[in-house]
Structure 1
Amino acid sequence: MSAALLIIDMQIGLLQWPEKPFEVERVLANIQHLIAQAREKNVPIFAVRHTGPQNSPIAAGSPLWQLLPELNLNAEVDSLFDKFRPNAFHGTALEQQLKAAQVDDLYIVGMKSQFCIDSTCRTAADLGFKPLLVADAHTCMDTPALSARAIIEHHNATLGAAFARLINSADVVF
């Protein structure tokens, strides 16, 4: 059984909106820990960035579209790709790349919990992968209806009930 780490939308622009993601420093530290562990164990790392329409703040090639430099991702070693929809599988080669690498366990981290994390976890399960949602390594912002904490807790409970296995970053052993 093979594992992979999937980092979703940890982009400069998504962390620089006027409203900051909930506990982003802790989430980033947890993701950095998982990256280091994945590298140590030769676990493949996939990182996706959301691409907005031309002239948007996260349009392809713009400074805000770039993945966070703090992740220390390397395009020569890691699989970096772009998406245009919340679901990281939609319109990308992610499914084929994971199957080619014989990945079963897909550890999912990043943002935003209620959009890209949610749709990617559900699709991963539908495609036959075993998604593991790292409960303390995804985040989002407050909305008018719900606080970010409530959104994250709700998605951990909902996704963990039927679509993914929940795990905390400290408990991940690749």
Structure 2
Amino acid sequence: MTTALLIIDVQRAILTGLAHADRQPSIDARLDAVSARLGRMKRAAEASGVPVILVQHDGDTGHRLEYGTTDWLFRDEITPRHDTVVVHKRSCDSFHDTDLSERLAELGINHLVIGGCMTQFCVDTTTRRATSMGFDVTLLSDGHTTADFGSLTVEQIVDHHNCLLSGFNAGSKAVRVVPSEAACFLTT
């Protein structure tokens, strides 16, 4: 099994302005913790020779992730190296109108370890799509986050998606949800 680490939308302003003022500090603290965790995962993958793929959302003019602005940049914890694959997207699906599937094929990847931002949108959609496209997926239970959405808190959304996606399958391919400390990079 050849594995890659896929980190989705961990950008400077990914959660800016999405929470009520009283909740923003806890949303920001959670993003800091997830970003630090993903940064450690990224460095471990690189040290093991595991490919790292960063997905970056290219927002329209006026969007909080407007292409080319400082808010659009990746957070410092996951800054790309010269050999980091960067995929640009414009929708919740990291495969839609991108070269992600081609990049994975070039690398011979058949297993993705996934973390990132916007649990209920980009992480969920990409995880499901990867599975239906023939990849085994390990979703990092403590490696994705979002902001509160409607009456749901970030904690509820993350817990729900961890339960919902655990065991999701398409034929023989499935999602396994594990904490980052239990995730290992398989390169054989």
TM-score (norm 1): 0.93
**Using the alignment, how far apart are the partners of 1:144 and 1:72 within structure 2?**
32
Work out whether 1:7 is the aligned partner of 2:7.
yes
Matched residue, 1:71: 78
**Using the alignment, how far apart are the partners of 2:97 and 2:177 within structure 1?**
26
Q: Secondary structure of 2:110's partner?
A: strand
Aligned pairs, number? 173
Matched residue, 1:111: 117
Per the TM alignment, residue 92 of structure 1 is displaced from its structure 2 partner at its CA by: 0.5
Q: Secondary structure of 2:115's partner?
A: strand
Matched residue, 1:155: 161
Report the identity percentage: 30
Per the TM alignment, residue 144 of structure 1 is displaced from its structure 2 partner at its CA by: 2.1
Per the TM alignment, residue 50 of structure 1 is displaced from its structure 2 partner at its CA by: 1.0
- Preserved contact between residue 61 and residue 67 of structure 2 (Cα < 8 Å): yes
Per the TM alignment, residue 25 of structure 1 is displaced from its structure 2 partner at its CA by: 2.3
Work out whether 1:42 is the aligned partner of 2:49.
yes
Query: Any stretches of 5+ residues in structure 2 without a counterpart?
Result: 170-174
Matches within 5 A, 1:1-174: 1-17=1-17, 19=19, 20=24, 21=27, 23-74=30-81, 76-163=82-169, 164-174=175-185
Per the TM alignment, residue 145 of structure 1 is displaced from its structure 2 partner at its CA by: 2.0
Per the TM alignment, residue 18 of structure 1 is displaced from its structure 2 partner at its CA by: 5.7
Q: Secondary structure of 1:12's partner?
A: coil
Per the TM alignment, residue 17 of structure 1 is displaced from its structure 2 partner at its CA by: 3.0
Query: Any stretches of 5+ residues in structure 1 without a counterpart?
Result: none
* AA matched with 1:12: R
Per the TM alignment, residue 71 of structure 1 is displaced from its structure 2 partner at its CA by: 1.5
Q: Secondary structure of 2:87's partner?
A: strand
**Using the alignment, how far apart are the partners of 1:18 and 1:117 within structure 2?**
17
